[in-house]
Amino acid sequence: MDRVQLQEDILTVFNLAEFQALCRRLGLEYDELRGNTQRDKVALLIGTLERKGRLLELVQEVVGERPHLEGTYGAYIAIEVATLDDALSWLDRLAQGEGPAIEEPPTMRWQTDIHEEKNE
């Protein structure tokens, strides 16, 4: 998904009061976004939610408030929701040749020698 396009769309379709309300619905305070301009604050909102794994939530809120953006973000929402439904779907995509090549086979490592100290 194009984050720059998302930023431009939010700047275009939300006025200041609506953007502040959007921030509150997402559990963030507008005044806590450090940017000096509206553009900075929108970029910080997108970056913050992306780092927290909540970008889908932002996009769903934006499309929910502005349904005409469904055409732009509908595919992203559908893919992300499907991925949430199947947390291991990335393995299927790798098996089909999608994604980066794996240099080494995946391994599982766990501690095999468990020693408990007895307090006597």
pLDDT digits (tens, 9 = 90+) for 45-92: 999 999 999 999 999 999 999 999 999 999 888 888 877 666 666 666
Residue 116 within a domain:
no
Q: What is the DSSP secondary structure assignment for residue 32, as one 8-state letter?
A: G
Q: What is the pLDDT of residue 4?
A: 95
Of 120 and 64, the one with more pLDDT: 64
pLDDT value, residue 82: 74
Domain interval for residue 39: 3-92
Q: What is the pLDDT of residue 108?
A: 64
Total structural domains within the chain: 1
Residues 73-109 as b/e (b if ≥16 CB within 10 A, e otherwise) read: beebeeebeeeeeeeeeeeeeeeeeeeeeeeeeeeee
In a domain, 23, yes or no: yes
Residue 54 falls inside a structural domain: yes
The residue to which tokens 């973000």 are assigned: 73
- At residue 99, the pLDDT reads 60
pLDDT at residue 114, rounded to an integer:
58
Q: Residue 81: what pLDDT?
A: 81
Question: At residue 93, does pLDDT exceed 80?
Answer: no
Whether the predicted model's global pTM rises above the 0.75 cut: no
- Flag whether 16 is in a domain: yes
Q: What is the pLDDT of residues 1-42, one digit of tens each?
A: 899 999 999 999 999 999 999 999 999 999 999 989 999 999
CB 37 within 8 A of CB 109: no
